[in-house]
Chains A and B, each alone.
Chain A
């Protein structure tokens, strides 16, 4: 009697495990590396588009010549390697940098809007958004959205309960392996900046699709910060921690 009970329990456990495995296998899958690289490549893309547009503006004064030139050479299509484009971001003037960052935020915004549809309707039928307050929406961003996009949750969420949130990610995945030469830490931080605008836009997009959609209702800024436990490790182990500061204006 005892034996058979134990056996059936094991079987039950095995059955559940098998079911879980089958469920995992049935989920749509894509290679993580490729997806991450694609997400990162959005930044050189934005810089490249901005540059091409600039060239176009300059050239429009001399229409005939450009037409001829573009037929004779391939230079107008040539954009160069990604790391060169990133170097270009460093030397670009402020206006251009702002335009690049807006472009990136818009990419993130679109991504966020669509992502929340996916997460709500296909992955998480149990989540009810009807009586969700702002805090649980932000929790949704920290848990589900981050898990889906970066494979981990946000490490720390702080709020003043009046619409200001600090989301701390102590190891922001996309910029994990980005380093320059030894002593160029300032330049390194500057070059990482555009990579932070995509998740900013994404947070805004998710919030917009969940009812916080008025213009200028949500502002999001990201800054690189020092991780709390990296101080003893020294500057050489510069951890890629990011703090997202989200401000939401809620009318009463």
Chain B
């Protein structure tokens, strides 16, 4: 099992969390919420956004069709879109067919428990109108969320 990175986007098109592992051998390597990844985040968002709208167009009127995975020559992206507009994206190698259960766990057990139930943490990460158009740079930084993500995804890195 190998995963490369994990991203969360909110409904204002902002990337609110990113975690990228650089070394397979080292679970704690790589970057968390780094500024360098901003452009990558935008590209990833754009790719998912357009493929998502294509898949919805091709499914015909009325029926709902959510994109789940995107495979390229080098990696596979697993996507979970929630009704509240959050996107959970996990990049893995091509051996992973379906990681939707992992994404669902990340959402229901980690995000909900450490961000939604955490009264000290905002639920909507765009604070002013100027941040609601994709320009926001706020990230999830609370300690228990970071620790839980690390504990859960760490063993899957290599």
Binding site for B on A (CB under 8 A): 37, 40, 43-44, 81-84, 86, 176-182, 188, 191, 195, 236
Contacts and interface: CB of A to CB of B under 8 A. Distances in A.
Interface residues of B, number: 17
Contact of B143 (A83, A180, A191): A180
Contact of A81 (B114, B118, B122, B147): B122
Given A182-B143, A236-B147, A177 B122 contact: no
A195 B120 CA distance: 12
Given A81-B122, A83-B121, A177 B147 contact: no
Contact of B120 (A83, A176, A182): A83
Interface string B92-132: 00000000000000000000011001111111100000000
A41 B146 CA distance: 24
Interface of B: 113-114, 117-124, 141-147
Given A81-B124, A177-B113, A177-B114, A40 B119 contact: yes
Contacts of A44: 119
A182 B143 CA distance: 5
Contacts of A82: 119
A134 B32 CA distance: 54
Contacts of B145: 179
A178 B119 contact: yes
Given A177-B113, A177-B144, A181-B142, A86 B119 contact: yes
Nearest to B147: A236
Contact of B117 (A43, A84, A177): A177
9 contacts: A40-B119, A43-B119, A81-B124, A83-B119, A177-B114, A177-B117, A181-B141, A182-B141, A182-B143
Given A180-B142, A180-B143, A188 B120 contact: yes
Contacts of B113: 177
Nearest to B118: A177
Most chain B CB inside 10 Å of its own CB: which residue of A43, A177, A178, A188: A177
A43 B118 CA distance: 13
A83 B122 contact: yes
Most chain B CB inside 10 Å of its own CB: which residue of A40, A178, A179, A181: A179
B132 to A, nearest CB: 14
Contacts of A181: 141-143
